[in-house]
Structure formats: C-alpha cells, structure tokens
Structure 1
Amino acid sequence: EVPVAGVFAVSSAYHVAVAWTPYFAVEDADVAAARVRERSGTVAVGPLTLGKGRGVLASDRDGASFGLWERTEASASPPAPADHAHAWLRLRTRNAFDAAIFYGEVLDWASGRPGCCDVAYEGDEVIVRCGGHPLARISSGAVEAAVDPVVRPHWQVQFPVADLAATVSAAERHGGALVEERTGFEGTEVTLRDPDGALFAVTDVRSPA
C-alpha cells in the first residue's frame, strides 16, 4: 500500500481552520523555511519533528497555506505507481506566474538539478511536472480579501474517482456538502466541504495535465 495522506486532530487551542494541507518534500527544512521568509512568505510553525522527518507549516505571499517536509529516516513504504496519481494539487492564487516564481525559488523547481520538477506556462495556467508526471496546476483569479474560502488563495487537493456522482452522494450522506461544480474540456471537478469545514475536490479527470 502506498501512503497518500495523513489525517490528524487539530486542537481548538490553536484556533486553526480545518484544512487539507499539501506538504512538499525538501532536502533541508531550515533552508526552505528561510527561503519562504526571504520571499515575504510566512513560516507559522517549525521546522520541528514530524513523523520520520522535520516539518514546516507556512503560507505564501498571498496567504495560501502549505507544508514543507524533510525526511530524516528511511521510508519502508513502496513508491507510488509511475502511471497513476492518487491525488494532485491545484493552487488558486492571485497571479499564477508570480506564484510559480515564489514556489520555484523555494522548492527548486526548474532549477536544472537532478530530480527537480519542471514548470510549463500553458495558456493562463502554470503546470508543474515531476519526473514527467503532472503534480499541480496553478491558476490566477483568487481574491485575497474574499469572504468565501473557495475564492481566497488556497491549495486544493484533488482526488480522481471512478464515479463522481456516487462519491458526491456518499459525501453528503456522511455530513459533507457540495460547494462548487465545474465542468471543462477535460472533465468535471466538484469541490466538497467535509463535516468539519475542510475543502477538497473530487474529479473524473484522470490526470491534471
């Protein structure tokens, strides 16, 4: 079995909204955290011990939250299949090109070093690919001061599913709610809110790019 995500409780004492937070692997959590600060991002927590590594919770210049994780112990889990993504990411931000520069400099995207992710500007979006496989899409149009969390800058985790209608129905039966449905050339994407308020998306698109 390949680990896809972790779920843990958040203490009410922290006054933090429940959310799906993407974590990006880095070689050195201290260096990556320093890069976030140098580029006017915010480091809220860490670096600190997290599982078999060290983690950082941060946000970019527009307020989208994300994590950094440095592995310090060997993994016993098998790698994910090369031809299938269990989940991928979409960043809705104020300006996709500015965001691509920020994350590229923090995470060494398109740096030319072995194993780095590639960045491509396609239309009005930025596509991030790692090892030739799509990882994320970055799109413009988010509004930082918006009341609606769907409109504010944020990273959204997207899970591909075989039956979109059945998945939405199951979410609603268990206390979730449909927030938004978008249909495009590639397929349909539905944003859901779980019973605790965390947003995520399910889609019938098998690959983000």
Structure 2
Amino acid sequence: MKSDAALHGEVTASHSVFGAPCWASLTTRDLRAAEDFYRAVMGWEWRTSSTVGDQYRVASVHGVPVAGVSEVNFGVNTAVAWTPYFAVASADETVSRSQERGGTTAVGPISFPPGRAALLADRDGAVFGIWEGELVAGWEEWRRAAPVFVRLHTRDAFDAAIFYAEVLEWASSDPRSCEVRYEDNEVVLRSRGDVVARIHSGAVEAAPDPTIRPHWQIHFTVDDVEAAARAARAHGGTAHQQGLGSTEAILTDPDGARFFVTTRTTD
C-alpha cells in the first residue's frame, strides 16, 4: 500500500509518527465508478498499486499519493465506507493490545511489502486500520495533500480515548507519540503540533443507521467546497451544505460512502 512512496522522495516510517492517521482507504462495489466520481469531485489521478494489484487503486494529488480504493464483491458482507489507517510501530503488538481491551480484528495483520496492515474495530464497533512500515513520502506532505483530520463519533469520547490511547500508544512517554487534550467539548489528538484527529461523544450504540453508530469520519481538503458539492451531485452522489459560502460539506459517492470536504487553509 505504501511502497510506491519511495518514488516521491523521502520516506517516513510508521514508527516515527506512531498513533497518527497515515492513510485513508475506501471499499466500493464499483472501482471504475469510484475513480470517475473522485476524479470529478476531488481532482484525483489514479494508478494501480504495484504491491496490491488491479483491485486496489491509489489516488494522488500533484504526484503525492493521498488515498486508496479497493473493490469488494457485491455479495461480501463488507461495508462501503471510508476507513482511516493509523501508523503503528508493530502491527502484531497493536492487534494484541486491541484484543486485550475488547476490540475485534476483522483482517490481519497481513503483509503488503514494505509493511503490514490490519483492519480492527474498537469496543463500540467503529472500524479503523493500522499500518506498520513505510508511509507516503514525507508524512507532512501527505497531510498537506490528504485529510485535514479524522473524527470519531462515538458513545463516550473519554472511554474511546482511553481505548485508542492504550492501543495506539497515544500520550506515551516517547516524544514521537501523539498528544491528547480535551478542547471545545472534544478529545483532540495532535501529532507534531497538528490536529490530526478528534473524538466526539454522541453516537448511539447499536443504532440501525450507520451514520449514527460509532464510526470514523474522513475530512478531505478542497479549494472550493461549493464546487466539490456541485460536482458530487452532477456525478451521481449527494451533497449537504449549511449554506452558500460554507467551509464544509457532507458528500456521499454513488455507492453510498460518506465523507466530508473542508476548505483548504493557507497556514
């Protein structure tokens, strides 16, 4: 998933930013339709991953890999959704810590040279991934081109923060670990001074609606939120904005995957 990063300059290893979001991946039923939609809405270019194969495609912005898309069989009980991946020093140890604290393992750890990945769910069922190995060339470069941050909507933000802190080693004594604070009624995660994740209370446990059940949201940056919303509607998706001039919109692609777009800042 990340070996192509070596083509773009300096490579960052997961242990140098462990605990921080490092990738976003979409599962879809129609790979070609997803490529067309996100090219129109986000301006992404696509290529086949050299390590995973034809069923996994990598999106890039100005040559920087920003996200991946994998196609799943229609009959497979796999959610059509965006999933954040977090950098870890050891996939095996992270999976063990998750299981010891009530999390579940859906996939892995499995090898994708030059690293290893796993797909997990926390105690309340929110799905997330982990990655051990080389990251997209230059973590800060990926951060500038990819998500603003990821946000967890969950039943109890404090309980979730404890789970993730123990599993992903947030707020450890290691200076490379992520900093955790409570700000503006949310748990806020920072890595290298940047806000990279937020945890918000309010999701209803076991609710039938997947947008209400505990889940991670992906927020992508765009130059023009209104233009992205118009493109989403024009290419088979949906868009909800708070009003003209809004700096954020909720979009869904034609397959139903939900994500956010946020105005790109210049600082």
Task: Please confirm whether the aligned pair reaches a TM-score higher than 0.5, indicating the same fold.
Answer: yes
Question: Deviation at 1:205?
Answer: 6.3
1:155 has 2:216 as partner: yes
The worse-fitting range, judged by mean Cα deviation, of 77-86 and 157-166 is 77-86
**Which of these residues, 80, 86, 107, is aligned with residue 140 of structure 2?**
80
1:110 has 2:163 as partner: no
Partner of 1:194: 253
**Any unmatched runs of 5+ in structure 1?**
none
Partner of 1:32: 94
Cα root mean square deviation, aligned = 2.2
Q: Give yes or no for contact 2:66–2:145 (8 Å, CA) kept in 1.
A: no
1:195 is paired with a residue whose SS is: coil
Question: Deviation at 1:182?
Answer: 5.2
1:33 is paired with a residue whose SS is: helix
With over 3 angstroms needed to count, the CA separation of the structure-2 counterparts of 1:91 and 1:120, relative to structure 1, is same
Give, in whole Å, the separation in 2 of the partners of 1:147 and 1:76.
36
**Any unmatched runs of 5+ in structure 2?**
1-62
TM-score (norm 2): 0.70
Deviations for 1:113-157, whole angstroms, at most 9, x for unmatched residues? 131000011131011000111101110100122222221111010
Number of aligned positions between the proteins: 201
Partner of 2:155: 94
Give, in whole Å, the separation in 1 of the partners of 2:91 and 2:72.
22
Q: Give yes or no for contact 1:62–1:93 (8 Å, CA) kept in 2.
A: yes
Higher relative contact order (CA 8 A, sep 6+): 2
With over 3 angstroms needed to count, the CA separation of the structure-2 counterparts of 1:205 and 1:124, relative to structure 1, is farther
Give, in whole Å, the separation in 2 of the partners of 1:156 and 1:82.
18
Q: Aligned runs of 1:143-182 on 2, under 5 Å? A: 143-178=204-239, 180-181=240-241
- Of Structure 1 and Structure 2, which has the larger fraction of its residues in helix? 2
Q: Give yes or no for contact 1:89–1:157 (8 Å, CA) kept in 2.
A: yes
Give, in whole Å, the separation in 1 of the partners of 2:136 and 2:180.
30
Partner of 1:55: 117
Q: Give yes or no for contact 1:181–1:191 (8 Å, CA) kept in 2.
A: yes
Give, in whole Å, the separation in 2 of the partners of 1:181 and 1:152.
22
Give, in whole Å, the separation in 2 of the partners of 1:80 and 1:109.
19
- Of Structure 1 and Structure 2, which has the larger fraction of its residues in strand? 2
1:149 is paired with a residue whose SS is: coil
Q: Give yes or no for contact 2:106–2:119 (8 Å, CA) kept in 1.
A: yes
Partner of 2:193: 132
Identity of aligned residues (%): 52
Question: Deviation at 1:2?
Answer: 2.5
